[in-house]
């Protein structure tokens, strides 16, 4: 088979790249390992909130740029951050022109658009007929109408290199092994979160003791193929995810929702020694990264009081109160901190000391003196003083990896010396360089897929000499 552009992956990044390439006059194909019309991928089951660094993607470019650089502590690649800043409004407009319907996401980051219809407000995973599923199906229809192809049930195995340039993809499907020759290849396989070996190398010492909060289709194939072709990687140590009930390890109804980030960010999170080990004020994505790094990621517990539990009735898209307990998640309750420690299996004296220190620091406005220091700018701490007190045993949920293949602002895959590999591009969660940093900044899985899918196709079309 011979095409102009081959996308590895049929999630949003791959399909957007293939549809955009077709619009620009290229013959495009998306190579997708999943079988059947509703093959699984993170794009299909996601919640659908569109943002750049948890704020509107279509804010003025300079504001978006500063937001990305500041959230990542200056570690984002400047040209890539600039690309997000300058293409956010255009990416959203493109989606709407191509059949996406947007509505305001309830209870989350006020006013952010979400693919409509949105998910139900319940525990567990629902996706069929939701906005992301409908939009993905719609993109596939548009690709085929534009003369492109989606090769389902087809696995990309390796890139075909000619000298230093990429010229296609080796594939395997029911018909056997063959080659898709392509002037441009866009890697869009969705990240390496389901690759336990890589997780062990970069993210957690205990890959089986964190919870996959995704469809497990992102197995790091794109990263491996790009590395074999000489690509650089960036920021492999951080992931986007949420804090979940520890019972999720045996009870599937507890993922992807309810997540318990807000509870953790208002109260405290302690390890097996009943001591704090993280800056809860940085929020759930940061906390879940820190839990994953513990010697035993299944040893963290959230401690909070009835004020926080009351607030949890309204907090987040799927409020933990009462859904956590209704879905089978453990919620310890006690009239004193000592009694709570006994119920949660923690040392009584140690937990009393930890809570006492925390309360004194919050009331004295000196949480910066706690060890570890507790920031207050993003999530305000709530003193643990109003009974009943609560404890929730936690697990780290990994949704998608933040790091990956190094690309420039035009989505061209880069070698370690920062020169592009001709014919090779990447988009979506396969890409690193715009997220992570010291605070595990989450820039947005969907915007990475839509925006970089568009940019990758447009760069490839330009480099192949096709019309814009």
Ligand X SMILES: Cc1cc2nc3c(=O)[nH]c(=O)nc-3n(C[C@H](O)[C@H](O)[C@H](O)COP(=O)(O)OP(=O)(O)OC[C@H]3O[C@@H](n4cnc5c(N)ncnc54)[C@H](O)[C@@H]3O)c2cc1C
Hey, what are 419's tokens? 């020169």
CA dist 298 and 210 (Å) reads 7
Interacting residue with ligand X among 123, 156, 382, 460 (CB under 6 A): 156
Task: Give the number of other Cβ atoms within 10 Å of residue 335's Cβ.
Answer: 10
User: Contact with ligand X (CB under 6 A): which of 3, 4, 11, 340?
Assistant: 11
| Tokens read off for 49 | 């909130």
Q: How many residues bind ligand X (CB under 6 A)?
A: 39
For residue 29 the two structure tokens come to: 């194909």
Q: Does 53 bind ligand X (CB under 6 A)?
A: no
Q: Is the dihedral of CA 203, 205, 211, 214 positive or negative?
A: positive
Tell me the window of 20-28, 43-51, 141-149, 273-281 that interacts with ligand X (CB under 6 A).
43-51
Question: Rounded to whole angstroms, how far apart are CA atoms 239 and 289?
Answer: 7
**CB 176 → ligand X: shortest distance, Å?**
15
How many Å apart are CA 48 and CA 145, to the nearest integer?
A: 25
- Residue from 248, 262, 449, 451 binding ligand X (CB under 6 A): 449
Among 168, 190, 241, 297, binds ligand X (CB under 6 A): 190
Residue 34 near ligand X by CB under 6 A: yes
**Least distance in angstroms from the C-beta of 200 to ligand X:** 19
Q: What's the rounded Cα separation, in Å, for the pair 463 and 67?
A: 31
Q: Which of 4, 445, 456, 460 binds ligand X (CB under 6 A)?
A: 445
In angstroms, rounded to a whole number, what is the distance separating the alpha carbons of residues 468 and 375? 47
Residue 322 C-beta: closest distance to ligand X, Å: 21
If binding is defined by CB under 6 A, does position 91 make contact with ligand X? no
- Measuring CA to CA, which residue among 43, 8, 150 is closest to residue 399? 43
Question: What radius of gyration, in Å, describes the C-alpha atoms of the chain?
Answer: 23
Toward ligand X, which CB reaches closer, 7 or 291?
7
Q: Which is nearer to ligand X, 38 or 419 (CB)?
A: 38
Q: Does the footprint of ligand X cover residue 12 (CB under 6 A)?
A: yes
Cβ proximity to ligand X, 41 vs 226, nearer residue = 41
Binding flag, residue 188, ligand X (CB under 6 A): yes
Among the listed residues 236, 228, 175, 157, the one whose alpha carbon sits nearest the alpha carbon of residue 401:
236
At residue 125's C-alpha, the angle toward residues 121 and 127, to 5°, is: 85
Residues 6+ apart with CB under 8 A from 94: 16, 20, 450, 454
Report in angstroms the alpha-carbon separations of 141 from 71, 91, 148, 232, 279.
Answer: 37, 19, 10, 34, 46
Q: Kindly tell me which of 305 and 435 has the beta carbon lying closer to ligand X.
A: 435
| Minimum distance from residue 381 beta carbon to ligand X (Å) | 26
Region 352-381 residues binding ligand X, contact defined as CB under 6 A: none
CB of 400 to ligand X, least distance (A): 5
Q: Is 130 in the site for ligand X (CB under 6 A)?
A: no
Q: How far is the CB of 7 from ligand X (least distance, A)?
A: 9
Options 3, 5, 6, 9; binder of ligand X; rule CB under 6 A: 9
Helix (H/G/I), strand (E/B), else coil: 329: coil
Exactly one of 149, 278, 299, 399 binds ligand X (CB under 6 A); that residue is 399
Residue 13 in contact with ligand X, rule: CB under 6 A: yes
The contact pattern for ligand X, residues 253-272, with x = CB under 6 A and - = no contact, is: ---x----------------
Instruction: For the segment 205-234, give every residue that binds ligand X (CB under 6 A).
Output: 214, 217-219, 221
Which structure tokens are listed for 446? 């969907």
Nearer to ligand X, 152 or 343 (CB): 152
Closer residue to ligand X in complex, CB, 45/68? 45
Of 50 and 291, which CB lies nearer to ligand X in the complex structure?
Answer: 50
Answer whether 92's CB lies under 8 Å from 50's CB: yes
- CB of 277 closer than 8 Å to CB of 271: yes
Give the SS3 label for residue 356: helix
Give all strands (DSSP E) within 271-403, no chain letters: 301-304, 332-334, 389-401
Chain contacts with ligand X (rule: CB under 6 A): 8-14, 31-34, 39, 41-43, 45-49, 155-156, 188-190, 214, 217-219, 221, 256, 399-400, 428-429, 444-446, 449
């Amino acid at each position: 088979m011979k095409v102009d552009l081959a996308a590895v992956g049929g999630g949003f990044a791959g399909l957007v790249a293939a549809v955009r390439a077709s619009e620009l006059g290229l013959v495009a194909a998306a190579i997708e390992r999943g079988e059947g019309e509703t093959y699984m991928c993170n794009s299909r089951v996601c919640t659908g909130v569109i943002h750049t660094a948890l704020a509107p993607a279509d804010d003025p470019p300079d504001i978006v740029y500063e937001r990305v650089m500041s959230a990542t502590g200056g570690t984002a690649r400047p040209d890539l951050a600039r690309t997000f800043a300058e293409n956010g409004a255009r990416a959203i407009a493109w989606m709407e022109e191509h059949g996406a319907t947007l509505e305001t996401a309830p209870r989350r980051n006020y006013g952010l658009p979400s693919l409509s219809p949105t998910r139900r407000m319940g525990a567990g995973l629902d996706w069929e007929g939701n906005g992301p599923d409908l939009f993905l199906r719609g993109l596939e229809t548009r690709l085929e109408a534009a003369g492109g192809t989606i090769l389902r049930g087809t696995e990309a195995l390796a890139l075909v290199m000619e000298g230093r340039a990429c010229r296609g993809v080796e594939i395997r499907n029911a018909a056997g092994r063959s080659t898709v020759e392509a002037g441009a290849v866009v890697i869009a396989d969705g990240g390496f979160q389901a690759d336990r070996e890589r997780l062990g190398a970069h993210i957690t010492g205990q890959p089986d003791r964190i919870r996959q909060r995704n469809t497990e289709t992102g197995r790091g194939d794109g990263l491996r193929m790009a590395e074999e072709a000489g690509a650089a990687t960036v920021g492999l140590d951080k992931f986007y995810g949420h804090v979940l009930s520890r019972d999720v390890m045996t009870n599937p109804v507890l993922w992807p929702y309810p997540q318990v980030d807000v509870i953790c960010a208002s109260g405290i999170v302690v390890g097996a020694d009943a001591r704090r080990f993280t800056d809860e004020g940085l929020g759930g994505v940061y906390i879940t990264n820190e839990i994953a790094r513990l010697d035993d990621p299944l040893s963290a517990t959230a401690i909070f009081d009835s004020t926080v539990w009351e607030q949890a009735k309204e907090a987040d898209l799927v409020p933990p109160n009462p859904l956590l307990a209704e879905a089978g998640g453990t919620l310890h309750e006690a009239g004193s901190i000592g009694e709570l420690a006994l119920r949660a299996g923690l040392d009584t004296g140690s937990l009393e000391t930890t809570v006492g220190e925390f309360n004194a620091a919050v009331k004295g406005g000196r949480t910066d003196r706690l060890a570890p220091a507790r920031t207050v700018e993003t999530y305000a701490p709530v003193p643990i003083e109003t009974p009943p007190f609560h404890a929730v045993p936690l697990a780290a949920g990994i949704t998608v990896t933040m790091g990956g293949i190094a690309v420039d602002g035009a989505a061209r895959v880069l070698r370690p010396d920062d020169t592009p590999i001709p014919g090779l591009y990447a988009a979506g969660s396969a890409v690193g360089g715009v997220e992570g940093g010291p605070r595990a900044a989450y820039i947005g899985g969907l915007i990475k897929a839509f925006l970089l899918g568009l940019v990758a196709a447009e760069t490839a079309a330009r480099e192949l000499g096709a019309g814009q």
